[in-house]
A = this chain, B = another copy of it.
């Protein structure tokens, strides 16, 4: 049976990418060796990481003012690396609290400097994005989570600020064009739109690196990684290779504008059904804050949850169960998900309403 993969992450990647990666696993470019058993300093892997960086730059339109790094440790490690590198003792950073990941980032930042939480939607279980944020000019940076995978909200605008924005874009990077000039630092765990779990993309304005006054271990110092081209130590070779293949695929599909168009079409299809189906309701209370990546929704009657998931499963739909913080359902519709899969989900919702309405 054809599967429709709505997993929130690790999540769907293009099948072409998996096919190429499987070949590279046993025989890379007809070398007789796996890409996994050659040196990361070989000309073969140097070409892979160079192409990955070039694709990041091209897709996002990055100028040379930005460094592009491929690190490990996930976005969770950037929660502390960002303040460790950018926020000296006594300095203040602003944070916007829009979900679990934001609040983890806030907790880590407090270990290194002062933190002002400028806005929070926590009291409403993060069901909207706080608007009209005043950003004081004395802040070192303003941190936000661009898309909230768990709660199904997404920033569709950037706060006006005279200070650099720092964003965790783990779950929506490369899903739409971004005005990168507004940002000092963008980081993203790869495992949604960029590649597999195991590599973290860091895009940093170079002038912000190397300014930490505290002593930093080499692996936690952005400047060290910049100077070593992400190869201070052995990088996660295969995760970078798969990311490069995925970025190539995004480019071949028409780049971020094409991704945005396709993602909007899927979201329109899904949310249209959600707004008209009598058995479900959206979790997000402000429709303008709905995520194009992760649609969170609930059954109007709790007893409908299990039969709906069963019906989804029978249609080949995987990974629709909601996160425990929200309950209900979550449909993750990342770049690689075809429109067809959303159509299948919408049909199941319609059928389910006819049978149980």
Contacts and interface: CB of A to CB of B under 8 A. Distances in A.
Interface in A17-51: 18-19, 21-23, 25-26, 31-34, 36-40
A220 interface: yes
Nearest to A108: B217
Total copies of the chain: 2
A356 interface: no
A185 B33 CA distance: 34
A325 to B, nearest CB: 14
Interface residues of A, number: 63
Contact of A104 (B22, B218, B318): B218
A238 to B, nearest CB: 6
A234 B9 contact: yes
A258 B26 CA distance: 25
A219 B25 contact: no
A318 to B, nearest CB: 7
B104 A198 contact: no
Nearest to A198: B236
Interface in A229-251: 232-239, 242
A203 interface: no
B1 A32 contact: yes
Contacts of A18: 25-26, 34, 36-37
A196 B33 CA distance: 13
Interface in A254-276: none
A37 B22 contact: no
Interface stretch (A74-82, A117-125, A287-295): A74-82
B233 A76 contact: yes
A236 B8 CA distance: 16
Contact of A10 (B37, B189, B318): B37
Interface in A104-124: 104, 107-108, 111
A240 to B, nearest CB: 9
A20 to B, nearest CB: 10
A5 B37 contact: yes
A19 B26 CA distance: 6
Given A217-B111, A233-B76, A198 B37 contact: no
A2 B196 contact: no
Contact of A39 (B9, B26, B108): B9
23 contacts: A3-B31, A5-B37, A10-B40, A11-B37, A13-B36, A18-B26, A33-B318, A36-B197, A39-B319, A72-B73, A72-B74, A74-B233, A76-B218, A76-B219, A108-B217, A108-B218, A189-B234, A196-B237, A197-B238, A198-B198, A236-B236, A236-B239, A238-B238
Interface of A: 1-3, 5, 7-13, 15, 18-19, 21-23, 25-26, 31-34, 36-40, 72-77, 79-80, 104, 107-108, 111, 189, 191, 196-199, 215, 217-220, 232-239, 242, 316, 318-319
